[in-house]
Amino acid sequence: MKTTDKQVYVLKISPQGQLTLPKRLRQQLKVDKGSRVTIRASSDKKQLEVSTDLPITKYFGTMGRAITGGRDAAEYIREMRDEDNRQRGRKLGR
């Protein structure tokens, strides 16, 4: 393993395809045994970005009111389901 001031780590992949994060990096990332990290490949597949953030969290709150139009989600989904059930009932002649 070689490190530079830029905190770039050169790691060797084991025969089992595993990478070991150096202790210093684990400490910096605050990860330990059992922690999950996200590894994302760049579009040209030449770079890997390791992150402790979950990709999905970046999208929290980003849909505005685009799904329910500002209504309460539980009530909105309940109405959708009840409507589906009613339409199914009509098709069955009930």
Partner 1 sequence: MISYDTNVLIYAFESDNQWSAAARKIVEVGEREGAVLSVLAWQEILAGAALRSTEAEAKQRAILDQFMITRFVPVTEAIANKAVALTRRFGRKAKGYDAILLATAIEQGADTFWTNDKILLELKLPNLNIRSL
- Based on the shown chain and the rule CB under 8 A, indicate whether residue 77 belongs to the binding site for partner 1: yes
Question: Could you say which residues in the range 27-56 bind partner 1, by CB under 8 A?
Answer: 36, 38, 54-56
Among 8, 10, 73, 92, binds partner 1 (CB under 8 A): 73
Q: Are 40 and 51 in contact (CB under 8 A)?
A: yes
Task: Dihedral sign for Cα 41, 42, 48, 54, please.
Answer: negative
Residue 47, C-beta contacts closer than 8 angstroms, at least 6 positions apart: 41
Positions that interact with partner 1 (CB under 8 A)? 36, 38, 54-69, 72-74, 76-78, 80-81, 84-85, 88
